[in-house]
Amino acid sequence: MSNEKNTAAPAANAPSPNFLRAIVENDVAAGTHAREGLPPVITRFPPEPNGYLHIGHAKSICVNFGLARDYQGRCNLRFDDTNPAKEEQEYVDTIIDSVKWLGFSWEQNGDSHLYYASDYFERLYLMAEYLITAGYAYVDSQSADDIKKNRGNFGTPGVNSPFRDRAPEESLAMFRDMKAGKYKDGEHILRIKMAADSMASPNMTNRDPAIYRIRHAHHHRTGDAWCIYPMYDFTHPISDALENITHSVCTLEFQDHRPFYDWLLATLAEGGFFKQPVPRQYEFARLNLTYVVTSKRKLRDMVDEGIVTGWDDPRMPTIVGLRRRGYTPEAIQLFCERIGVSKADGWIDMSTLEGCLRDDLDPKAPRATAVLRPLKLIIDNFPEGESVECSSPVHPHFPERGLRTFPITRELWIEQDDFMEVPSKGYFRYFPPIGDAPGSRVRLRHGYVTECTGYDKDAAGNVTAVHVKYFEDSKSGTEGSNTYKVKGNIHWVSAATALEAEVRLYDRLFTEPQPDAGGRDWKPFLNPNALEVVTAYLEPGMSAAEADQRFQFERHGYFVADRVDSTPGKPVFNRVTTLKDSWVK
């Protein structure tokens, strides 16, 4: 799909204004980034291929691709693949798939704008050599511990490296030897000196940041061609400039990195590597969502330790996990729009995301009947072996979608909590005769009115079946049904024709809103009830459900046929979300 539009500004029904949109609109109006043959707005989404994307990345994707879409621009997908020790092709593939699934594209007018930082390794290296010869960079031979110690802290200025005044010629020769593989990992590092007093800067990022390190590791794209690799803070702004990015949008943790970003591009522009104007960096608040953790390390721990079944476990906040859970791209985009873009950090409650999902699924999802905790119901006076067809709308608000049909038979399945031996006050479902009073009358939804006559128990005292009688003239939709006034109305499926299916009842992964707050151990807050697997009975038409098809199981919530484990005629269902927020206080 193309990111192009015919107008230079969002339509009237476009996302609400925010400070980023104001900046972009002003730049477009002023022609700030007007360049022949290029769109006025070029953004980028630059993930590291060292893990799976999560819901926080989804916000960045929607922000960057959304700005490009709405202002006649384009958004590049660029992999920051500068750390071969942690990167794999698997991660590249899943990131590409996730961005596509969310509904965005980096292709425009037949051209692909998919890039890799490794595409620029040769140019990055030449720029590093220039910075050395110009006196802006030096090879530091301190140990990692000494570099850390001499860097100081927020209350203590750093100490200049004893190698800071190394002659450019010597640093250049050593840097070339680093490239040639003559040194071991960590033996030397290339650092920038932005100013004479950089090590005293109150901004820790400016204290002679490292831009190249030695790493003898196989790269998933360049193989063994390189044994030195550029650092993120060096690679990122240069990649932006090489790709003609206009607005480099990132999260607030990179705010302190902006002075180096600006200095580096200005310095290299003076050296003739770029033309003005160079990109500008803008920061917005990252997504902090309750009841999840989004640290890649912690997510990887969950996978490696078997806490979850994999990166696509439906309890995970990864995009592949949300997709398998049953989330839709539209729901996630709606969520990102509702929470907005700001410069102030804050927490978004999980109920906001779930609310967007319900709002998206309600008009889309066809209805179906499912009994999740089955109890046998026997209509004693219903003819043995016979059935009567009943019907219900595919969707109650869209009659044009038609009807679904299912039979009522002598034996049915109902929910266990639709029967009580001793009813509580206000209970209008099945309960047996008490004293001289008859049992309760309940309508079988879309079927007949029935009256409870008794029940069976096993040796352990568990109720195994409920017995009722039905009134033949009470079928829903017939004239006789109007003479019966009952308060109870329950759902059911025929025991003779129901589809037996595995249903996975997923819930939030943690019991605490901020499980890893303050760096505490998050594992004690894992929700033991985050997954319950039941054998359920569904109306017979559900055997035709296809993988990834979503339904509302009336009374229970929204469910999806699992995209991995479902097979033709034998779907496995995941609960996407309940009908209402069950976590509200």
60 is in an annotated binding site: yes
d(CA 75, CA 569): 41
d(CA 80, CA 75): 15
377 is in an annotated binding site: no
Place of tokens 């859970």: 325
Residue-by-residue DSSP string for 440-453: PEEEETTS-EEEEE
Q: What tokens does 357 get? A: 């999902």
Catalytic residue among 25, 48, 502, 554: 48
Question: Taking the alpha carbons of 305, 308, 309, 311 in that order, is the dihedral positive or negative?
Answer: negative
48 is catalytic: yes
499 is in an annotated binding site: no
- Could you tell me if 322 and 335 are in contact, meaning their C-beta atoms sit under 8 angstroms apart? no
74 is in an annotated binding site: no
441 is catalytic: no
Which amino acid is it at 144? Answer: A
Which residue, 523, 526, 530, 514, is CA-closest to 582?
A: 530
Question: Under 8 Å CB-to-CB from 273, ≥6 apart: which residues?
Answer: 127, 130, 241
d(CA 104, CA 114): 12
15 is in an annotated binding site: no
- Burial of 109 from C-beta contacts in 10 A (0-12 / 13-18 / 19+): exposed
Element (H, E) at 240: helix 232-242
Catalytic residue among 5, 221, 286, 338: 286
54 is in an annotated binding site: yes
Coil/strand/helix, residue 335: helix
d(CA 313, CA 370): 23
251 is in an annotated binding site: yes
- Could you tell me if 191 and 140 are in contact, meaning their C-beta atoms sit under 8 angstroms apart? yes
d(CA 573, CA 297): 29
d(CA 373, CA 537): 9
d(CA 428, CA 420): 10
585 is catalytic: no
Per residue in 191-211, is it b (16+ CB within 10 Å) or e — as a string? Answer: bbbbeeebbebeeebbbbbbb
Question: Under 8 Å CB-to-CB from 436, ≥6 apart: which residues?
Answer: none
286 is in an annotated binding site: yes
508 is in an annotated binding site: no
130 is in an annotated binding site: no
148 is in an annotated binding site: no
> Strands 189-192 and 388-393: what pairing?
unpaired
The two most distant CA atoms of the chain are separated, in Å, by 106
Question: 54 pairs with which residues across the strands?
Answer: 318
d(CA 27, CA 23): 6
Q: What tokens does 546 get? A: 């296809």
59 is in an annotated binding site: yes
Catalytic residue among 164, 179, 215, 296: 296
66 is in an annotated binding site: no
d(CA 466, CA 421): 10
> Which amino acids are annotated as binding site, given as ranges?
48-50, 54-60, 80, 232, 251, 286-287
Which residues are tagged catalytic?
A: 48, 286, 296
> Which amino acids are annotated as binding site for L-glutamine, given as ranges?
80, 232
> Which amino acids are annotated as binding site for ATP, given as ranges?
48-50, 54-60, 251, 286-287
